[in-house]
């Protein structure tokens, strides 16, 4: 509430107290005979007091409501901050998992390539073009077509 940001809360409580005080005084005004001119202001004092009570009551409620909302906002800010920390922690866990799995995949690939260089390479001459079991061009085409990215 912007009005509560401009003015301190005690002003509205003071307005409420002043209103109650003014209303009480307006009813006791007949007993204040030592101030004779005061009686003619009875009605304006009552109207002013009523307005002051209305404003004071409304703003007291507004202050209470504002305080409740500020507490809620503070609670939410703390939760959001905690969630951001938790989010970063989860990201670290995910990255660690990705790095570990990727390393396993790379190591396994390197091991298999070593195996190929050691064992499969023995059959290269057998499957060479013009050799005993030549690899058909259709086989290579099928592999390359499968490796083609979708367009």
Partner 1 sequence: MNMIKLFVLAIFIILAFLATGCSTTVPVTMKFPESPGIVVMTPCPQLEKVQDDAKLSDITKTITVNYGTYYECAVKNDAWIEWYQKQKIIFEGVK
Query: Toward partner 1, which CB reaches closer, 14 or 32?
Result: 14
Residue 30 or residue 141: which is nearer to partner 1 going by CB?
141
Q: Please tell me the distance from the alpha carbon of residue 40 to that of residue 38, in angstroms, as a whole number.
A: 6
- The SS3 call for residue 127 is coil
Count other C-beta atoms under 10 Å from residue 57's C-beta.
15
User: With respect to partner 1, which residue has the nearer C-beta, 30 or 79?
Assistant: 79
Residues that bind partner 1 (CB under 8 A): 1-4, 51, 55, 58-59, 62, 69, 73, 76-77, 79-80, 83-84, 86-88, 90-91, 94-95, 97-99, 101-102, 105-106, 108-109, 112-113, 116-117, 120-121, 123-124, 126-129, 135, 137, 140, 143-144, 147, 149
- Shortest Cβ 15–partner 1 spacing (Å): 12
Rounded Cα gap, residues 10 and 23, in angstroms: 20
Nearest distance from C-beta of residue 31 to partner 1, angstroms: 30
Handedness of CA 130, 133, 136, 140 (dihedral sign): negative
- Closest contact distance (angstroms) between CB of 24 and partner 1 is 22
**Cβ(63)–Cβ(27) below 8 Å:** no
Closest approach of partner 1 to the CB of residue 149, in Å: 5
Please identify, using beta-carbon distances, which residue of 39 and 102 lies nearer to partner 1.
Answer: 102
Question: 42-118 and 9-27 are packed helices; what angle lies between their axes, rounded to 10 degrees?
Answer: 160
Structure tokens belonging to residue 69: 């909302």
């Amino acid at each position: 509430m912007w009005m509560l940001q401009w003015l301190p809360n005690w002003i509205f409580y003071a307005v409420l107290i002043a209103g109650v005080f003014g209303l009480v005084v307006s009813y006791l005004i007949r007993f204040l005979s030592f101030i004779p001119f005061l009686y003619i202001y009875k009605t304006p004092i009552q109207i002013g007091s009523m307005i002051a009570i209305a404003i004071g009551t409304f703003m007291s409620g507004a202050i209470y409501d504002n305080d409740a909302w500020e507490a809620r906002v503070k609670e939410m800010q703390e939760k959001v901050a905690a969630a951001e920390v938790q989010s970063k922690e989860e990201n670290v866990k995910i990255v660690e998992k990705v790095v570990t799995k990727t390393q396993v995949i790379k190591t396994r690939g390197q091991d298999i390539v070593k195996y190929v260089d050691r064992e499969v390479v023995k059959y290269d001459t057998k499957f060479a073009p013009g050799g005993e079991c030549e690899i058909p061009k259709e086989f290579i085409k099928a592999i390359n077509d499968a490796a083609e990215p979708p367009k």
